[in-house]
Amino acid sequence: MSIAAPEDTAGLLRRFAAALVRGGDAAAAARVQEVYGPLVGEWGVDGWIRDDCGVRTIAGTLSGRFVDECGWLQARYREWATAGNSRPSLATDHWGVEGEVLVRYGFGAAGSGFFGTASGWREGALTWDGTWYGGGRRVPARDVVRLDADGCVRIVGYVGAAMERVAELVLSR
């Protein structure tokens, strides 16, 4: 699996800033509610992440809520310190729409982040393609979000030109 080189991150950041100040767009708010509604609420998170220090198991929470007159889904992610995870992470994502394109902007407490786009749900999955940055690097990235019949959400993350699998998370209520 391979994707194109990362988009211009500075351009994506400008788009994010413009979208934040665009005001109450009723059509965009309705689309945000339709697309992201299944992700609203409180979720427990379990899984694993591979980074420069190796593979670590994680546990934590994700809280999804609509903000800015429902113009965005705000997802706050928090890992717990455990025996398998001595470096818990915090991140806040904003998932919205810009015209017909779904947009996602995420910022981590350690200075990392993700900027990406998706075209919509296909066969029960939402596939985000974009750029991950952190640790002085900027690489192509993909997150696949899947709604399971059992009510769980599964997120698999990939990075790099070869799209190496670097994360697998299960969200449950």
Q: For residue range 72-82, what is the model confidence (pLDDT) as tens digits?
A: 899 999 999 99
172 or 85, greater pLDDT: 172
Count of other CB atoms within 10 angstroms of residue 109:
12
Residue 19 in domain: yes
In terms of pLDDT, which residue wins out, 42 or 83? 42
4 part of a folded domain? no
Q: Is residue 48 part of a domain?
A: yes
Q: How far apart are CA 59 and CA 41, in angstroms?
A: 17
| Residue 23, pLDDT above cutoff 50 | yes
Residue 101 forms part of a structural domain: yes
Domain count, the chain: 1
* CATH code assigned at 115: 2.40.128.20
Domain residues for the domain of 146 are 9-172
Decide if pLDDT at 21 tops 70.
Answer: no
Q: Which pLDDT value is given to residue 6?
A: 46
Count of other CB atoms within 10 angstroms of residue 152: 15
Residue 74 lies in a domain: yes
Question: Does 155 fall in a domain?
Answer: yes
More confident residue, 109 or 8: 109
The predicted pLDDT at position 2 comes to 36
32 within some domain: yes
Predicted confidence at residue 111, as pLDDT, reads: 83
Total residues belonging to the chain: 173
Report d(CA 30, CA 28) in Å as an integer: 5
Neighbour count for residue 25 (Cβ, 10 Å): 17
Q: Check residues 141 and 1 and name the one with the higher pLDDT.
A: 141
* 1 lies in some domain: no
pLDDT at 50 over 60: yes
Q: Which region among 5-9, 17-21, 33-37 has the lowest average model confidence (pLDDT)?
A: 5-9
Q: pTM higher than 0.75, yes or no?
A: yes
Helix segments in the chain, DSSP class H: 9-20, 26-36
